[in-house]
Structure 1
């Protein structure tokens, strides 16, 4: 952190076009480029740091049990990236009673009659196994589960981080994979933090009718809002003109802008039932964002639930019984 702030400060001191470009590149590499040795992801991958979104789960016995189950049960799954081409990796676990046929599609002889599928989207600096607990509980309830790795994460580290925006377009490919496998599928989307932003950013896209509902847990309003928050909290740096410079670099290098990457804007076109969850003690993605997201959502059916005293991504830990009852009740109402 000291090195990256030093590089940014030195660039900012120039106060010219070249200096701001250097600042923009330094910020971009720090937050969004897993290949940079100075990046958050590189530090986590080398063991020097821990994922920002998953620290609360590390010592949870339930999560440890679920991770062991997940590592045994998971199978490789891939889709073509929506933008930029190439293959994106994830994991899938077919539900009890789901039998693939020789052509890779669901066999009509499968004893399962529910056709329920849940796509689980992890958070920034995390990986699919962070949601092993959700996957295990859903599988026990009869769901098939798909766990994509976000761009810049796990086996997709060869790409820049999409912060949910680029991943939302990729999510459409994962949805289509399920629909091709099982045209009768009833699909729910679930995401935490960056994954929550991803499913909200997908909510306003042209979702197929097989997508029945969406659950978001502690997602942010936009990439700009979240990065601006962290500029102050983590780096103690001014947003303007530094984040503006990073946004210009991101447009060139990754193909998107922080302001356009807005969950709020996409929610204004949402049509499926949505559940919004947030912990009141969340400071990483501030709790105040919950109402802005909920109010923006155009879905005729929407619910919001707060968890008193829960920090970022920790609502499921703060009151597990209430959390899982809320989520499972919502899923079964619309699937």
Structure 2
């Protein structure tokens, strides 16, 4: 998700577990400014600025875990490949896509049932428009390529019945990660519904991950 309000349930979970929470609205969402969504590729640099601001506010001893869901999950993966402050200790992503181009291709073919002869030039046009609006072609925005540069522990969460971001993408992202990694799939949940459907299990997965990597 890309606005803070949509992550309120997660914020309460982390707060109840004893952690402070920062819930920024992504650009062009909620109360943030901006006209265009950057699919996580532009937002990764925004998140880095938020990280530095959080460290400045809480001090050098702080420990930060970056989490996102859906496009926010892809953003978290893209952030993981940046040069980050040492206070960033781990990442959690929930239902994020492996790359923008692959996600758009999947939606065009499986959600909108567009024939290949139409969707290929359509995606090329979309990519060109995005280059004008956001400064990059769609194929550049890759979660799995960023994950190959990541050195921090990563928790991957996905669902077994995802018709929006196919489940095979989490396996692709997991395989791209050379750092310590963990994968949990909520078998019967749909896109971004693992927490509402498996609340107790979700909390336990988070607790186990934090117990290992967060003081």
**Maintained 8 Å contact 2:28/2:37:** yes
Which residue among 168, 171, 174 is the counterpart of 2:50? 174
Corresponding residue number in structure 2 for 1:244: 124
Secondary structure in 2 aligned to 1:305? strand
Corresponding residue number in structure 2 for 1:289: 169
- Tell me, in whole angstroms, the C-alpha distance in 2 between the residues paired with 1:143 and 1:179: 15
Q: TM-score under structure 1 normalisation?
A: 0.61
- Tell me, in whole angstroms, the C-alpha distance in 1 between the residues paired with 2:14 and 2:44: 22
**Maintained 8 Å contact 2:13/2:203:** no
User: CA offsets, 1:262-319, max 9 Å, x none?
Assistant: 00100000100000111010110000111100000121x1111111111100111222
Corresponding residue number in structure 2 for 1:40: none
Identify, as 1 or 2, the structure richer in helix.
Answer: 2
2:195 is equivalent to residue 319 of structure 1:
no
Would you say how many aligned residue pairs link Structure 1 and Structure 2?
Answer: 210
**Maintained 8 Å contact 1:188/1:331:** no
Residue 195 (structure 1) shift: 0.4
User: CA offsets, 1:213-232, max 9 Å, x none?
Assistant: 10111100001111111112
Corresponding residue number in structure 2 for 1:189: 66
Which residue among 54, 58, 82 is the counterpart of 1:205? 82
- Tell me, in whole angstroms, the C-alpha distance in 2 between the residues paired with 1:190 and 1:331: 12
Q: TM-score under structure 2 normalisation?
A: 0.93
User: CA offsets, 1:43-91, max 9 Å, x none?
Assistant: xxxxxxxxxxxxxxxxxxxxxxxxxxxxxxxxxxxxxxxxxxxxxxxxx
**Maintained 8 Å contact 2:42/2:134:** no
- Tell me, in whole angstroms, the C-alpha distance in 2 between the residues paired with 1:152 and 1:239: 26
- Tell me, in whole angstroms, the C-alpha distance in 2 between the residues paired with 1:178 and 1:267: 23
Q: Between the two structures, name the one with larger relative contact order (CA 8 Å, sep ≥ 6).
A: 2
Residue 157 (structure 1) shift: 4.8
Corresponding residue number in structure 2 for 1:334: 213
- Tell me, in whole angstroms, the C-alpha distance in 2 between the residues paired with 1:164 and 1:327: 23
- Tell me, in whole angstroms, the C-alpha distance in 1 between the residues paired with 2:47 and 2:105: 26
Instruction: Structure 1: give runs of 5+ residues left out of the alignment.
Output: 1-121
- Tell me, in whole angstroms, the C-alpha distance in 2 between the residues paired with 1:190 and 1:328: 14
2:150 is equivalent to residue 270 of structure 1:
yes
Corresponding residue number in structure 1 for 2:27: 151
- Tell me, in whole angstroms, the C-alpha distance in 2 between the residues paired with 1:333 and 1:307: 21
Corresponding residue number in structure 2 for 1:233: 110
**Maintained 8 Å contact 1:150/1:162:** no
- Tell me, in whole angstroms, the C-alpha distance in 1 between the residues paired with 2:62 and 2:72: 22
User: CA offsets, 1:132-174, max 9 Å, x none?
Assistant: 1111121222211111111221122532001111111111001
Corresponding residue number in structure 2 for 1:280: 160
Instruction: Structure 2: give runs of 5+ residues left out of the alignment.
Output: none
